[in-house]
């Protein structure tokens, strides 16, 4: 898998500029995304998350600033946008609604076919992608609409994986799934990062899911309100609460226990918290 770096340099985007419907999409975003790392983007509805994702793979072009893939400006005149599209794969929210082919394998072949791969190569790429997402061979020739919700979603993700992106961008990949389906998707993303060296950028409304990322980006009204490691970002409880956001469960518990007079260090997850509590208990 290719190692890539995507940089957003002082990027702004405005919807309907110059009209009374003018609305801010993104303002002055400076961000950098690399293969092998994971990023969580959080922010309430309308904070600019979707705009950001669309800027990342060239569906929108910035009104100001540049988007650079490995140093190349993707909106320069001579740049072939397909290069960006195949390097930064975008999985929309509820991607299963975008399945359209008669069979699973044809659906997954669609992406690589459009990138100009030969039919044999497409088939290879599609099979590999389906194997990665855990769809068994006996399902390849089935109608995708006969699969379960979780399976459909994994097929839709395979459709993007088949293009071999260096960075995979997903808009709420676990929304609407049951806890088991959600775990499968999250562990798939982990596998892609670890074994395929893929960069993962995930929009999430679940702070416990977001806390697993290397870097957390918090958006508010189109601007980057906070950015840093999950530990750093989620320390800003008051700030996040002001933005209508939350912190992971264990951190909320830590706060509550401190307010009840229990002297605890910063605890990030249930494991750390239970260890700290048991230490006090056994003292």
Partner 1 sequence: MDLIKAEDISYSFKEYDEEGNVTGARTAVDHLSITVPAGTFLAVLGRNGSGKSTFAKHLNALLIPQEGTVYVDGIDTSKAKDMLLIRRNVGMVFQNPDNQIVSTVIEEDVAFGPENLGVPHGELEDRVYSSLEKVGMSEYASNSPTKLSGGQKQRIAIAGVLAMKPKAVVFDEATAMLDPKGRREVMAALKKLHEEGITIIHITHHMEEASEAERVIIINDGKVVMDGTPQEVFGNHAEAEKYGLRAPNAVLLRDMLKDGGMRLGEHIALDEKELAMQIASHLRGGEDD
**Rounded distance between C-alpha atoms, residue 133 and residue 275, angstroms:** 35
Please answer whether residues 168 and 120 qualify as being in contact, where contact means their C-beta atoms are separated by less than 8 angstroms.
Answer: no
Q: Is 265 in the site for partner 1 (CB under 8 A)?
A: no
**Rounded distance between C-alpha atoms, residue 38 and residue 10, angstroms:** 21
Binders of partner 1 in range 34-93 (CB under 8 A): 44-46
Q: Is 282 in the site for partner 1 (CB under 8 A)?
A: yes
Q: How many CA atoms lie within 13 A of 194 on its CB side?
A: 8
Please answer whether residues 281 and 224 qualify as being in contact, where contact means their C-beta atoms are separated by less than 8 angstroms.
Answer: no
Of positions 20, 136, 179, 238, contacts partner 1 by CB under 8 A: 179
Q: Is 260 in the site for partner 1 (CB under 8 A)?
A: yes
Of positions 22, 30, 141, 178, contacts partner 1 by CB under 8 A: 178
Q: Is 270 in the site for partner 1 (CB under 8 A)?
A: yes
Binders of partner 1 in range 109-148 (CB under 8 A): 143, 146, 148
Task: Please say which residue, 113 or 153, places its beta carbon nearer to partner 1.
Answer: 153
180-183: long-range pairs with CB below 8 Å, 24+: 180/150, 181/149, 181/150, 181/153, 182/209
Q: Is 96 in the site for partner 1 (CB under 8 A)?
A: no
Q: Counting beta carbons within 10 angstroms of the beta carbon of residue 228, is it exposed (0 to 12), middle (13 to 18) or buried (19 or more)?
A: middle
Task: Please say which residue, 57 or 204, places its beta carbon nearer to partner 1.
Answer: 204
Report in angstroms how near the CB of residue 205 gets to partner 1 at its nearest: 5
Of positions 89, 111, 150, 173, contacts partner 1 by CB under 8 A: 150
72-97 burial code (b ≥16 CB/10 A, e <16): eebeeeeeeeeebbbbbbbbbebbbe
Report in angstroms how near the CB of residue 227 gets to partner 1 at its nearest: 19
**Rounded distance between C-alpha atoms, residue 275 and residue 186, angstroms:** 25
Binders of partner 1 in range 190-249 (CB under 8 A): 205, 207-208, 244-246, 249
Chain residues in the site for partner 1 (CB under 8 A): 44-46, 102, 143, 146, 148-150, 175-182, 205, 207-208, 244-246, 249-250, 252-253, 256-257, 260-262, 270-271, 273-275, 277-278, 280-282
């Amino acid at each position: 898998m290719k190692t890539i770096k995507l940089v957003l340099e002082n990027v702004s985007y405005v919807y309907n500029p110059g009209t009374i419907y003018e609305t801010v999409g993104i303002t002055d975003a400076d961000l950098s995304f690399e293969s092998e790392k994971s990023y969580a983007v959080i922010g309430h509805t309308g904070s600019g998350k979707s705009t950001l994702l669309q800027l990342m793979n060239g569906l929108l072009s910035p009104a100001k600033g540049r988007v650079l893939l490995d140093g190349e400006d993707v909106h320069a005149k001579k740049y072939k946008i397909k290069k960006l599209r195949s390097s930064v794969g975008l999985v929309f929210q509820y991607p299963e609604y975008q399945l359209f082919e008669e069979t699973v394998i044809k659906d997954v072949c669609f992406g690589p076919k459009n990138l100009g791969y030969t039919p044999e190569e497409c088939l290879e790429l599609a099979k590999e992608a389906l194997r990665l997402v855990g769809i068994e061979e006996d399902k390849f020739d089935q109608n995708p609409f006969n699969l379960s919700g979780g399976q459909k979603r994994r097929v839709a993700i395979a459709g993007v994986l088949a293009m071999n992106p260096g960075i995979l961008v997903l808009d709420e990949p676990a929304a609407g799934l049951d806890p088991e389906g959600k775990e499968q998707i999250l562990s798939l993303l982990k596998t892609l990062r670890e074994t395929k060296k893929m960069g993962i950028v995930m929009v999430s409304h679940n702070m416990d899911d977001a806390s697993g990322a290397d870097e957390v980006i918090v958006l508010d009204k189109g601007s980057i309100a906070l950015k840093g490691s999950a530990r750093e970002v989620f320390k800003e409880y008051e700030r996040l609460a002001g933005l209508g956001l939350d912190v992971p469960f264990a951190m909320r518990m830590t706060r509550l226990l401190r307010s009840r007079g229990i002297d605890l260090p910063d605890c990030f997850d249930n494991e750390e918290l239970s260890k700290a509590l048991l230490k006090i208990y056994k003292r």
